[in-house]
Amino acid sequence: MLIKSFGAGPWQTNCYVVAAGPNSECLIIDPGMGSAPGIREIITEHNLKPVATMLTHGHIDHMWSIFPVATGYGIPAYIHGDDRFLLNDPGAGVSTETRNALMEMMAADDIFAEPEDTREVSDAMTLDIAGMKFTIRHAPGHTQGSILFEFEADRKHIFTGDVLFAGAIGRTDLPGSSPQAMDTSLRDVVLNLPDSALVFPGHGPASDMATEKSSNQYLLRVAKGLSAL
């Protein structure tokens, strides 16, 4: 697989361009703030053709550029149904303080709306796009509609959004978050991922499940039957 990423916006949200290889179709995962030029550079460098955009969840730092990217390339946007409302109302998923700060950051030409071709995904759905097969894993907690993308390859490649980071997990103190749901997702979804799986999170460096299961303190707590937090 060809996986290229860069940190977008002030939150350094990982935006991923994923393809089976160069000179092929590709997916764009989590196009954050100001990500369009970086996406275009990767596409040009590797001679790729975008065919879909995917969101791990609906928080604004992950979907800031979903409308211009999906509309600009004329491609569909995929999101879990429980987070779809955030495309039109991104302020609903953040604190009051962050909402006020966002008002100052937004440019006059920023558009927050559903792309014309917006498609909902659900748990255990299997998709075959750009010559790659992957499964949707619903993992609520950080948001109601947080999902993992589990790609089939020689080793599984898991795009975890803000559910799981290298050595950490996503926040559960935001509107729509749930510590209880996060515990369930970590126990029933994340801990059941194979040790060999590679982890590509929404922020920070990549990891693998063997490392996370052996050293991530939040996963270790859940594995013992405790709450992650």
DSSP secondary structure, 175-222, as one string: TT--HHHHHHHHHHTGGGS-TT-EEEESSS--EEHHHHHHH-HHHHHH
Which pTM does this prediction carry? 0.94
- The answer to whether residue 66 sits within a structural domain is yes
59 in a structural domain: yes
Strands 2-8 and 13-19, sheet pairing: antiparallel
Q: 2 near 23, Cβ under 8 Å?
A: no
Tell me the residue length of the chain.
229
Taking residues 172-198, what's their average pLDDT? 97
Q: Among 93-107, 164-178, 184-198, which is the least confidently predicted range?
A: 93-107
Distances (CA, A) of 214 to 15, 162, 169, 170, 198: 27, 19, 14, 18, 14
Q: Could you tell me if residue 168 is inside a domain?
A: yes
Tell me what pLDDT residue 96 has. Answer: 66
> Using 50, 70 and 90 to split pLDDT, how confident is the model at 111?
confident
Q: What is the CATH number of the domain that holds 44?
A: 3.60.15.10
Q: What is the largest CA-CA distance in the chain?
A: 50
pLDDT at 89: 85
Nearest to 42 by CA among 66, 24, 62: 24
72 lies in some domain? yes
Residue 94 within a domain: yes
229 in any annotated domain = no
Q: In this predicted structure, which of 41-55, 100-114, 140-154 has the lowest mean pLDDT?
A: 100-114
Query: Domain for residue 228, yes or no?
Result: no
Q: Domain containing 147: what range?
A: 2-223
Q: What percent of the chain has pLDDT over 70?
A: 94
- State the Cα–Cα distance between residues 190 and 184, nearest whole angstrom: 9
User: Stretch 9-27: mean pLDDT, rounded?
Assistant: 96
The total number of structural domains in the chain stands at: 1
